Structure 1
Amino acid sequence: MPNRDRLSGLDSSFLHLERDSAHMHVAACMVFEGPPPSYGELLTHVQSRLHLVPRYRQRLAFVPAGQGRPVWVDDPHFKLGFHVRHTALPRPGCEEELRRLAGRVFSQPLDRDRPLWELWLVEGLAGERFALLSKTHHALVDGISGVDIVTVLFDASPEPMPVAPPEQEWVARPLPSRAQLLADALLERATVPRELLYGAQAALRAPRAIAERAVAALAGVGAMAWAGLRPAPPSPFNVRIGPHRRFTWVRADLGQFKAIKNALGGTLNDVVLAVVTGALGRYMRMHGHSTDGVELRAMVPVSVRADVERGALGNRVAAMWAPLPVGVLDPVARLRTLSEDMRAVKESGQAVGAGVLTTLSGFAPPTILSQAARLQARQRLFNFTVTNVPGPQFPLYLLGRELEAMYPMVPLAANTALGIAIMSYNGRIDFGLNADYDH
C-alpha cells in the first residue's frame, strides 16, 4: 500500500467509539502572556512549520463496506485557514468567559472529511494575555505524542528558532479509488498469516526470551481481563451524556506535590491521584452520595511508546484500571492506600496486557473492533478517565510570547460524564476538567 498509512487497531477504535454525544478529540486551552499575534502572523507561523507534521494535511479515506481500517490520504482541498481560526472575548475577557468559550469549541465534533484538527486564536483576555485552543482527534495523537506536536509550533526561547524549509513545495498525492482502497485492505488482510508465521519463526530462534515475555504478557492480559469482568461501582459520574461540555481548570505548584512525595513516599503520580481522589470524594459527599467503603475505578492511559517513536503520530498507549479509595478520608492514609494499590496494579502487568491486546487489535477485522467498541460503551468498565502527561519544565514561547499555562482536555466516553487531564509545565501542574454540560 505505497504512500498510504493505515490506522492501527487502536487508532481505529477511537473512530468506532465516537458518538453524537461522545466526540473523540483531545484538546487544550493554552494561555500566553503579552499581546496576541495577528491572525496573519499566526497563520504564517503555522504554515512555516506544517511540513514537520505532514499528517496535519491528511484526512481519512474509508474502505468500502468496512472491509478494512481507514487510511490517511493527502487532502487535495486542504486550506490552512479552515483549521486555524480566530475569535475574541468581549474585552476585558475574564477566565470564566474563556472557560465557557473552550467548552463550546470542545463540544463540536471534527469534520471527518477534512484533516482532524483545529487551532483557535482567542483575543481579548484581560491582563494583556491571549489564548490558543487546540483540538486534535484521538485517532491522530495519543496525548503523549501531542506534547511533541505542540513543540513544533513552540520554541524554547523568545527568539523563534529557524526551521529548515521543506525540500519541495507540498502537492497532494492523488486520492486512491474505492477499488484501490478495497484491494489494498484485502491484500493486507491476506498477509496477516505470513506475519504471524514470521513471529513464530523468531520465537523458535530465541525460545527462552520469547517464553518469558509470553508468560508476562499472558499474566498481564489475565489481570486486565479480570479487572474488566468486574463492573466499576455505581457513581454519579456514570450517566447518559449529551454532546455539550463544560471545561474548567485548576493550577497548583508542582513543588508542593514533590514535597509530599518526598515526605510520605510513593510516586508523584500517586500523589496526583490521591489529590484527585480526595476531591472526588468531597464532591460525592457534598451531593449526598455515601463514600463509605467506596473504591472508584479510573481508566489511566499509560504510554507504551518507545523513545525512537517519540514525535511519531498515532496512538501508542495502553490502559490501567486504577482503584481510587474515595472512602478514605484521612489524606495520608489515602495516599498510602493508593500507593499500595497502584504498586499491585503495576506488578500485575495490566499495562503489558493492555499493550498486547492493543497489538492484537491490529489483526482484528473492523467488524470485531466495532463490536468491541460498542461493548465497551455499554459496560461500566470504569467511572472516569484520569490522564497525567509530563510536560517540559522550562518556559515555552509562541512568536516571542511566553506560555503561561496549558490546560489539557481528555474526551468523555459514552455514559461517562467526567474526564480529568493533568499536565505539569514549568514548575506548575495544570488540571483540566471536562464534564457533560447537564451534569
Structure 2
Amino acid sequence: MTRAAVPAVPYPALDETIRGMEESAHYLHIGAVMEMEGAPPRIDAVLDHVQRRLPLLPPLVGCRDHLASHVRELAVPGCGSGDWARAYDALVNSPAPACAQRPWAVWLVPGEGGDGYLLCYRSHHALHDGVSQMRLMRLLFARTEPTAPPSAPERHKETPALGVRVSGRLRTAAASTRLLVRAPRLPLLPGVPDNRRVLTSAVVPVTRLRAAARSLECSVLDVHIAALSRVAEEADPTGWTAEGRRTRGIVLPVSLDAGGVTPYAGNRFALALVDLPWEQRDLGERARTLAGRTKWLRDPGARWAMGKAMGRLGVAEVGALSGRVFARAGMQTTVLGFTADIGFAGHRARRFINLNCLPAPFPYQPALTLWRDEAVCSITADTALPAAEKLADLWLRAIDVLAPPVPSPTT
C-alpha cells in the first residue's frame, strides 16, 4: 500500500491559535463515534485495523512507531446497545495520548455482556478540522478494505473572475465592520466551569429536516440554527440572548478547502458570525430570515475573500479576530453531511455521531450529523450548565415545531 502524500497546511496561524487556546488541550478535541451491533472485537484486532489503514491518513502517518498508545480500550459499566449514555460521557472526558504534535486516539468501548460496542476516533482540533475528519473516517472505517490511497491530486482553488472577487470582498468587508468595535465580554456561565463534559443527542429522520427546509424555503442549516435559538432562549443562563449592547449571533465555521477526498493536516476554515432574529417569535419565520443571512456564506467569491484574509493573518491577529467573533455570540455549531458506507470487520455501523468537545468561550457545543437516513444533533456541554442534560431534548422539541413528525398510517 502506497503512502498518501501529506498536503501542505495553508493556514498555520490558525492551527497555532487553536493549539494555544487551552493549556490542558483536552477539551479542544473533535471526533466521531460509530455504534456497532454484535460481539465486540479484541483490542488487538482494532490495532491491526488502524495499522493497515494508517498509510491512507496523512494527519496520522507519523505515529506508526507508537501506534499502540493511540488505540485504547475503555470499559464503561452499565453500557450496551440499548443505552450508551455513560459511554459517551466517558469518551468526551477521556484524555488523549500526551503527544505534542499528534494528540489523537481510537477507543473501543465494549458493551456489557458482549452487547454491541462503540468505536470512537477523537483528535485535537489543531491536528485537522471537521471536513478533514470526515474524510479520515471514510478511509479509516470503510467497510471494504481500500486497495490504494486516493490518487487524485489535492485540488487548489481557482481564482474567481474579477467581478466575483470584488463582490466577495465587499460581502466579507460588510460582515467584518461590526467587529471593529470591541463588544463587552460577559461571563458565559454564572459560575466557574466544572471542566467536565456531558453529551446528549437527539435523532430524527433526515427527510423531516429536508421537508421543513423545502416548505420554509431555507436550508437544513437554517432549520438547525432556528432550533438552536430556541434552545438558547430556554436553557442558557448567561443572558446573551437578551443583552442589547452587542450583536447576538451564532458562529459558523466556513470551509476554505477546495474539495477532494484526501484527509489533510491542519485547519482550513474561517469563522462567520450570523445574527439571530430574536425579535421573531415564530421559529419558521426565524428560519426564513436566517436563509437570507446565511446565503452569502455559500458565495464562492466570499469564500475566496475569507481565504485570502486568513492567509495574511498571523497568530496574534487570528486570536484577536476569533475573540471579537466569540464576544458577539453564545454558541458555535456545524452541520456535517456524510454518505460513506462505514463500519468494522465488514459490519455496517448502526449509527454515526459527531463529537464536538470544544470549550472555546461557550458552555455548550452542538453539531448536526446527516448520515444515511438519520440526522443526529449531539451537544457537548459543561456540567456546570444547569440544563446540560436537557439540551438535545430542547432541540428536538424545537424541531417538532419546525418539522412536525408525520403520523404513522393507521390500519
TM-score of the superposition, structure 2-length normalised? 0.76
* Code of the aligned partner of 1:116: P
Per the alignment, residue 115 of structure 1 pairs with: 102
Per the alignment, residue 263 of structure 2 pairs with: 311
* Code of the aligned partner of 1:95: W
Give runs of aligned pairs for residues 284-363 of structure 1, distance below 5 A: 284=236, 296-308=248-260, 310-343=262-295, 351-361=303-313
Classify 1:210/1:12 alpha carbon distance in 2 versus 1 (closer, same or farther; 3 Å).
farther
Give 1:406's match in structure 2, choosing from 328, 334, 352. Answer: 352
Check the 8 A contact 2:13/2:318 in 1, yes or no: no
Deviation (angstroms), 1:219? 1.6
* Code of the aligned partner of 2:329: F
* Code of the aligned partner of 2:248: L
1:8 lines up with 2:22 in the alignment: no
Percent identity over the alignment is 23
Deviation (angstroms), 1:162? 5.2
Give 1:433's match in structure 2, choosing from 374, 379, 385. Answer: 379
**Higher radius of gyration, 1 or 2:** 1
Give 1:390's match in structure 2, choosing from 326, 331, 337. Answer: 337
2: CA distance between counterparts of 1:327 and 1:237? 22
Per the alignment, residue 393 of structure 2 pairs with: none
Structure 2: stretches of 5+ with no match in the other structure = 1-5, 150-158, 386-411
* Code of the aligned partner of 2:173: G
Q: SS of 1:161's equivalent?
A: coil
* Code of the aligned partner of 2:206: L
1: CA distance between counterparts of 2:173 and 2:221? 25
Per the alignment, residue 115 of structure 2 pairs with: 128
1: CA distance between counterparts of 2:289 and 2:222? 10
Give 1:265's match in structure 2, choosing from 206, 217, 226. Answer: 217
2: CA distance between counterparts of 1:46 and 1:138? 20
Q: SS of 1:243's equivalent?
A: coil
* Code of the aligned partner of 1:435: A
Give runs of aligned pairs for residues 107-256 of structure 1, distance below 5 A: 108=95, 111-113=98-100, 115-124=102-111, 128-156=115-143, 160-161=144-145, 163-164=147-148, 211-212=162-163, 214-229=165-180, 237=188, 241=193, 243-256=195-208
Q: 1:279-310, CA deviations, whole angstroms, 9 ceiling, x for partnerless residues?
A: 222324xx696967977311101212113475
Check the 8 A contact 2:338/2:369 in 1, yes or no: yes
2: CA distance between counterparts of 1:359 and 1:237? 30
Deviation (angstroms), 1:13? 2.2
Give runs of aligned pairs for residues 86-101 of structure 1, distance below 5 A: 86-93=73-80, 94-101=83-90
Structure 1: stretches of 5+ with no match in the other structure = 59-74, 166-205
Q: 1:194-219, CA deviations, whole angstroms, 9 ceiling, x for partnerless residues?
A: xxxxxxxxxxxx9xx77545523432
Check the 8 A contact 2:183/2:328 in 1, yes or no: yes
Q: Which of 237-246 and 404-413 deviates more? A: 237-246
Aligned residues: 364
2: CA distance between counterparts of 1:389 and 1:216? 27
2: CA distance between counterparts of 1:4 and 1:271? 35
Deviation (angstroms), 1:146? 0.8
TM-score of the superposition, structure 1-length normalised? 0.72
